[in-house]
Structures are given as C-alpha cells and as structure tokens.
Amino acid sequence: MNKEPLLQVRNLKKYFPVKQGFFNQVIGQIRAVDGISFDLHHGECLGLVGESGSGKTTVGRAMLRALSPTAGQILFRLDGQSYDLATATEKTLRPLRRHMQMIFQDPYSSLNPRMTVSDIIGEPLLVNGVSDRSKREQHVRGLLTQVGLKPEHMRRYPHAFSGGQRQRIGIARALALHPKLIVADEPVSALDVSVQAQVLNLLQELQKTFQLTYLFIAHDLSVVHHISDRIAVMYAGRLVELGTADELFRQPRHPYTEALLAAVPIPQPRRNLKRVLLSGEVADPANLPSGCVFHPRCPYTEDRCKTEVPEFREIATGHLTRCHLAE
C-alpha cells in the first residue's frame, strides 16, 4: 500500500460573502467550511457525515475544485508529484480532473434526459480525446456490465430506467476515465431503502476492482458505517470527530456523534450508548456561537464551553475529537 496519502486537506476554508443593499455591500461571511484538515489514503473510503447545512457537500465540491476555496491546501498526489488543487490554475487542473470524479445525489436530475446512455457514459471519453465512436461504445458496453446493467441498454434514454439503474449509469459515467478519487455526494439517499444496499455493495465491489479512493458524503451514519474505513463527523463547518468506523460506532467521543448515533434507526441492543437527543437547529454559519459551536445544543455544556474553543486533538491513536470533556 502506498504510504503517502492520495490527498491531504489542510486548514480548508470556504466562506461566502453576505451582501445587502443596493450596492451589494458585504456585511458578513457565511463560514460554510471553517478550517478543516484530514488525509485520504489510497484505496480507503472516508465517510463524511453531518446534518444538512454542516458544510460536507461544500468540502466535496472544493476538493474537486467545483468551488474555489477561500484558504487552505488540498494536496493531491499523482505519479510522484504533488499538486495543490486549492490554488491550481485551470490549465494545471485540466489534466488532473479525469482522476477525480463525482457521483451525485439525485439520479433523476444528474443525467441529461435528451442523451442516450451511450452518449452520457461516453461523453467524458469524447471530451478527453476518444473520438472514435466504436471505441467509445465498446468501452461503454464494458462499463455497463461492470455496474450491473445490460450492454443493449446503451441506446435507451434515462427515463426508461428506475432510480437505482440511473444511479448505476451515473456511476458508470464517473468510472469512464478510470479515476483515482471519487467524491460520492449522498449517492444512495434519493433511492428506495431496498435499492440502497445494492448500490452500496456495487460501490464496494468497484472500489476493490478499480482500487478507488472514496470520499463518501452522507447524513445517515448507518449508510456510512456500511462502506467506510474511517468516518469524519462535521458540524457547522468544522470537523468534530474523526476515527475508524468501528471505533466511532463503539465509542463516540463527541456529544454530536453520540446524538447522530442515537438517531440511527437500526436496533443495536448491545451498543452501550447514552441517548443524546438533538434539539434545535445546526448553528447558523453566518453567526456562529462563541466557544464550542455545539454548546447551544449540547447536553453537557459547562461554562468554559461558552467561551473556549475546543481544539481538534488526538485522544487515542488515529481518533481525534473537538470537545473539552472528551477524556
């Protein structure tokens, strides 16, 4: 296994200006991502979880430079070279983009309804210089088989497929250029529960076959646990906990993770967890609370939580958390 991480994110920030008035005066900042750092190792799946509005999708989009970060580094290693995606020019990014692909949440709106499956999956090949149609179609046939669809489906349009099949088409398109990194943004949350497990299993098989590295974004911890080696928990633009999937489930060390786990709708009678119930809304990223940003919702809040920002620190090997009381 390659020891150097495929990707290193360091102090990544993405702020959006809040504008007001006739002259669009900037009156504040929405801190969607506020200084997060993590590594992504070759061949691993890192789950990124948090409620809606926690900033996880912004992280995924910034990693692929669909958004330009406000600050920080995103170091991507390829063929012995390191590229900082956060500051790279479009000219530098262009040849790198084929190695980083995205699987989208909504299989209904992410596929062009006027294109055949063959054209949808073959488009990235065409854009990257495979101009011979028969070669593209041969490749598309192979991809369709790999994602569990029939090659003869390639002349059909997206409307002829179910949600699960459309997501398989989206996955085939993401794989067309043999990427190294895939950011999967809630890839099963729009699907029926009965289909979710099939698509998750497919993603796991493909990860092994193509030695893919995943950032798997989801709001549902049970989905993330199924597929992830490690899990990072995000709250109000910051990481609050990071550890192996098993350790996070066995012994969460941040009250927010405890609360997310308590909401997992599967029976786990032997899991000896305190039942932390979340009340209130995710902190407003334009007006973050002082001290620990989770303190208005935390059942363990002490006085210092309201004034002192807890550091994101290692409390056991490879297990980091951001809580004054983690020990």
12 near ligand SF4 (CB under 6 A): no
Q: Which of 139, 62, 123 is nearest to 93 (CA)?
A: 62
Q: Which is nearer to ligand SF4, 76 or 235 (CB)?
A: 235
State the alpha helices, DSSP H only, in 176-305. Answer: 193-210, 221-227, 245-250, 255-262
Q: Which is nearer to ligand SF4, 13 or 295 (CB)?
A: 295
149 near ligand SF4 (CB under 6 A): no
Backbone angles phi, psi at 248, to 5 degrees: -65, -35
Give the footprint of ligand SF4 on residues 270-299 (CB under 6 A): 292, 294-295, 298
310 near ligand SF4 (CB under 6 A): yes
- Binding pattern for the stretch 230-269 against ligand SF4, x by CB under 6 A and - elsewhere: ------------------------xx--------------
User: Which stretches of the chain are assigned E, i.e. beta strand?
Assistant: 7-20, 25-40, 45-49, 71-78, 81-84, 100-103, 181-185, 213-218, 230-235, 238-244, 313-316, 319-321
Q: Which is nearer to ligand SF4, 179 or 255 (CB)?
A: 255
Q: Which is nearer to ligand SF4, 222 or 301 (CB)?
A: 301
Q: Please report how close the Cβ of residue 97 comes to ligand SF4 at its closest, in angstroms.
A: 38
Task: Point out which residues pair with 239 in neighbouring strands.
Answer: 234
Question: How far is residue 15's CA from residue 152's CA, in Å, rounded to a whole number?
Answer: 46
Residue 98, number of CB atoms within 10 A of its CB? 16
Work out the end-to-end distance of the chain between its first and last CA atoms, rounded to an integer number of angstroms.
33
300 near ligand SF4 (CB under 6 A): yes
Q: Which is nearer to ligand SF4, 175 or 240 (CB)?
A: 240
> How many residues form the binding site for ligand SF4 (CB under 6 A)?
13
Q: Which stretch binds ligand SF4 (CB under 6 A): 26-34, 91-99, 176-184, 317-325?
A: 317-325
Question: How far is residue 148's CA from residue 250's CA, in Å, rounded to a whole number?
Answer: 34
Q: Which of 143, 283, 305, 320 binds ligand SF4 (CB under 6 A)?
A: 305
Rg (CA), the chain: 21
> What residue ranges bind ligand SF4 (CB under 6 A)?
254-255, 292, 294-295, 298, 300-301, 305, 310, 323-325
